[in-house]
């Protein structure tokens, strides 16, 4: 599996699109890197760029971008709402897949060293890349901003990690590090007051506000025994926040960095700002995402707001995202396009969803064509997805049935399970065809020499095993779906009992059809212990499926009664 890291450099230019394009051109010139998002802000005069790739490619792209930004941006003339200290203000690396935080931190250190030595830009390491934890916090490093760094950089405790201890008037300094995924998120207020917005920011951010005697604004600062100011912690953990006024929008915002969305998710931050704003006589009008967000964060938000309405969370992925967007007002300032803002969507390969992206007619035409794929395995997966979709529909109808309000959560749970099975079966439609193509590719390998023959045989065997495992997974999921289908036949909306019956027929067909594919592919696999084991398991699933389908049809037919 390829190692992937994400890089999210913030450049101190958000108005001149020509400069921004020249910087992103440098990133896109590196093979092995994919540019995911470019998010300029006029008021902040700052652009957040997101790209992903293998570590060496990302390091090269980041270096070229930092170099180009230093050539094009003059910090002595820069003005903007966001705190900043350099042309490339901050450049974090984030582990995405098959790479540890420690490895990512090492790459950040390599990048910092190269920028300091080759470009002679002062570089400070932060977060996991910084060994000195007294200077690992970005806000502490950046304190004083560009204007204050001409003196700060001369202090022994603020000597750069790399590069000269001379502040570059044109390029400033750069902070490079490694961190977990961070969500930059702004909440819009119905006020123009920066001071009032800051009050809410202090209410919610983890660092809170300085403790004062008497008047919370003008009172004497309360100190600890060592002379440091005492603070009143805010209500949200792993949240940094400030208030600012955005002239472009004509409103004040709470600008937040959610540094660990497992601790404080986006929807909790939104609701807490809502609460604190109301306490201070203000109202939240919407919110704004800066850069990208993981899919799970959006799905969790959608479920959170549906649960608050006592509605079923067992709806499609697209519906959950729509609920999240509307509930948090993510489209108040600009359209929110999931395909451009959700990281997993940007990393999708269209070839992996060729079949399921077709309309019904095109899919049927492709199946009926002279091409051997999609074949029975893909069709079995799709039939299975239709079966569990019917049961999920019954669960959602039951959850919203008038007079059944006290049971909404019970049916919501069933629907949520059904959506999970449906989504995996949908993926297996294309996966089964990919498995067939993998076998064909293996058979096409050269076989002129003994080494080529050995490599070809190994490739064929690996592809064959994959082609066994995919339909076997279809069997497992389709059998699992019968539990939900049976529950809906027994306890769901009685007006939809026939839908549960059709779902059972689909699930049985999916299991039996997939098992045929398991068996035919197993005939070409040399590991007989593996074959015997999976065939035995398949027979057991098939038999239990037939028995369960019979039970469900009995329930359905008795309820129909005609």
Core vs surface per residue 407-418: b (16+ CB within 10 A) or e = ebeebbbbbbbb
Mean pLDDT of the 141-153 span: 91
pLDDT tens track for 217-251: 777 888 887 877 888 899 999 999 999 999 889 99
State the pLDDT confidence band at 532, using cuts at 50, 70 and 90.
very high
What is the percent of the chain where pLDDT is above 70? 100
- Enclosing H/E stretch for 436: helix 408-443
In this model, does residue 1 exceed pLDDT 70?
no
Tokens representing 360? 């019904």
SS3 assignment, position 185? strand
CATH class of 183-346: alpha beta
- Enclosing H/E stretch for 396: helix 376-399
Beta bridge partners of 126: 177
SS3 assignment, position 401? coil
Residues 39, 89, 430, 432: which is the catalytic one?
432
- Enclosing H/E stretch for 107: helix 101-118
> Domain limits of the chain?
4-178, 183-346, 351-560
Give the residue, 2 or 177, on which the prediction is more confident.
Answer: 177
Q: What are phi and psi of 312, to 5 degrees?
A: -65, 135
DSSP 6: E
Task: Please compute, for residue 35, the number of CA atoms within 13 A of its CA located in the half-sphere on the CB side.
Answer: 18
Residue-level pLDDT at 408: 94
d(CA 487, CA 355): 31
Homologous superfamily (CATH) for 4-178: Formiminotransferase, N-terminal subdomain (3.30.990.10)
In this model, does residue 287 exceed pLDDT 80?
yes
Please, are residues 87 and 70 in contact by the beta-carbon 8 Å criterion? yes
In this model, does residue 188 exceed pLDDT 90?
yes
Residue-level pLDDT at 458: 94
Please give the distance of CA 384 from its chain centroid, rounded to a whole number. Answer: 27
Average per-residue pLDDT for the chain: 93
What is the percent of the chain where pLDDT is above 90? 79
Residue-level pLDDT at 70: 95
pLDDT tens track for 472-505: 999 999 999 999 999 999 999 999 999 999 999 9
Which CATH fold would you assign to the domain 351-560? 1.20.120
Residue-level pLDDT at 44: 87
In this model, does residue 173 exceed pLDDT 90?
yes
Phi-psi domain of 375 (left: phi exceeds 0; alpha: psi -120 through 50; beta: other): beta
DSSP strands (E only) in 191-319: 209-210, 231-232, 239-246, 251-258, 284-290
Give the residue, 143 or 508, on which the prediction is more confident.
Answer: 508
pLDDT tens track for 457-473: 999 999 999 999 999 99
94, 180, 289, 297, 493 from 127: Cα distances, Å: 11, 9, 22, 23, 54
Question: CA nearest 390: which of 484, 317, 250?
Answer: 484
d(CA 240, CA 202): 9
Alpha helices (H) in 336-375, listed in sequence order = 338-341, 343-346, 360-368
Please, are residues 490 and 522 in contact by the beta-carbon 8 Å criterion? no
Predicted TM-score of the model (pTM): 0.79
Task: Please compute, for residue 481, the number of CA atoms within 13 A of its CA located in the half-sphere on the CB side.
Answer: 38
d(CA 82, CA 44): 5
Residues 39, 82, 300, 430: which is the catalytic one?
82
Q: What are phi and psi of 293, to 5 degrees?
A: -145, 145
Where does residue 162 rank: exposed (0-12), middle (13-18), buried (19+ CB within 10 A)?
buried
pLDDT tens track for 3-45: 889 999 999 999 999 999 999 999 999 998 999 999 998 888 9
Give the 3-state secondary structure of 189-220.
Answer: ECCCCHHHHHHHHHHHCCCCEECECCCCCCCC
Q: How do 4-7 and 88-97 pair as beta strands? A: antiparallel
Residue-level pLDDT at 248: 86
pLDDT tens track for 389-440: 999 999 999 998 988 988 999 999 999 999 999 999 999 999 999 999 999 9
Maximal C-alpha separation, the chain: 90
Determine whether 82 is an active site residue. Answer: yes
SS3 assignment, position 472? helix
Tokens representing 339? 């395909």
State the pLDDT confidence band at 531, using cuts at 50, 70 and 90.
very high
Q: What are phi and psi of 10, to 5 degrees?
A: -110, 115
d(CA 337, CA 298): 12
Give the residue, 165 or 215, on which the prediction is more confident.
Answer: 165
Residue-level pLDDT at 218: 72
């Amino acid at each position: 599996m390829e190692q992937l890291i994400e890089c999210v450099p913030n450049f101190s230019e958000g108005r001149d699109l020509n400069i921004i394009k020249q910087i992103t051109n440098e990133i896109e010139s590196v093979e092995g890197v994919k540019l995911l998002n470019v998010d300029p802000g006029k008021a902040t005069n700052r652009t957040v760029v997101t790209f992903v790739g293998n570590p060496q490619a990302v390091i090269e792209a980041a270096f070229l971008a930092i170099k180009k930004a230093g050539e094009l941006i003059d910090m002595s003339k820069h003005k903007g709402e966001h705190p900043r200290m350099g042309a490339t203000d901050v450049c974090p690396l984030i582990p995405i897949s098959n790479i540890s935080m420690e490895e990512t931190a090492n790459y950040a250190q390599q990048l910092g060293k190269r920028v300091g030595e080759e470009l002679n830009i002062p570089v400070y390491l932060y977060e996991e890349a910084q060994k000195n934890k007294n200077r690992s916090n970005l806000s502490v490093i950046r304190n004083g901003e560009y204007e204050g760094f001409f003196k700060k950089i001369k202090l022994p405790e603020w000597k750069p990690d790399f590069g000269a201890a001379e502040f570059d008037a044109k390029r400033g300094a750069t902070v490079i590090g490694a961190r977990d995924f961070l969500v930059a998120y702004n909440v819009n207020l119905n006020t123009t007051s920066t001071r009032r917005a800051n009050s809410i920011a202090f209410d919610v951010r983890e660092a809170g506000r300085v403790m004062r005697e008497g008047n919370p604004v003008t009172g004497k600062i309360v100190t600890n025994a060592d002379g440091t100011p005492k603070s009143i912690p805010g209500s949200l953990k792993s949240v940094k926040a400030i208030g600012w006024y955005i002239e472009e929008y004509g409103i004040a915002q709470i600008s937040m960095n959610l540094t660990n969305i497992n601790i404080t998710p986006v929807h909790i931050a939104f609701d807490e700002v809502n609460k604190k704003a109301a306490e201070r006589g203000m109202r939240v009008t919407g919110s704004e995402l800066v850069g990208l967000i993981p899919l799970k964060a959006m799905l969790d938000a959608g479920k959170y707001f549906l649960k608050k309405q006592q509605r079923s969370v067992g709806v499609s992925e697209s519906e959950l995202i729509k609920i999240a967007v509307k509930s948090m007002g993510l489209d108040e300032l600009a359209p929110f396009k999931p395909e451009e803002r959700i990281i997993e969507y940007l990393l999708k390969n269209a070839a992996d969803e060729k079949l399921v992206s077709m309309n019904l007619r095109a899919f049927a035409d492709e199946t009926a064509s002279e091409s051997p794929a999609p074949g029975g395995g893909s069709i079995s997966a799709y039939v299975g997805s239709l079966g569990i979709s019917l049961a999920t529909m019954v669960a959602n109808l039951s959850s919203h049935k008038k007079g059944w309000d006290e049971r909404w959560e019970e049916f919501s749970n069933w629907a949520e399970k059904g959506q999970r099975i449906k989504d995996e079966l949908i993926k297996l439609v294309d996966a089964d065809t990919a498995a067939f193509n993998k076998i064909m590719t293996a058979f096409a390998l050269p076989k002129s020499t003994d080494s080529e023959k050995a490599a070809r045989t190994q490739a064929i065997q690996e592809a064959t095993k994959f082609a066994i495992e995919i339909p076997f997974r279809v069997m497992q999921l389709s059998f699992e779906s019968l539990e939900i289908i049976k529950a809906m036949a027994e306890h769901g909306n009685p007006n939809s009992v026939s839908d549960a019956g059709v779902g059972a027929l689909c699930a049985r067909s999916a299991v039996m059809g997939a098992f045929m594919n398991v068996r035919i592919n197993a005939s070409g696999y040399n590991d007989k212990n593996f074959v015997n084991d999976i065939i035995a398991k398949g027979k057991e699933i098939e038999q239990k499926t037939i028995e369960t389908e019979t039970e469900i049809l009995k329930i359905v037919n008795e309820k129909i009664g005609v």
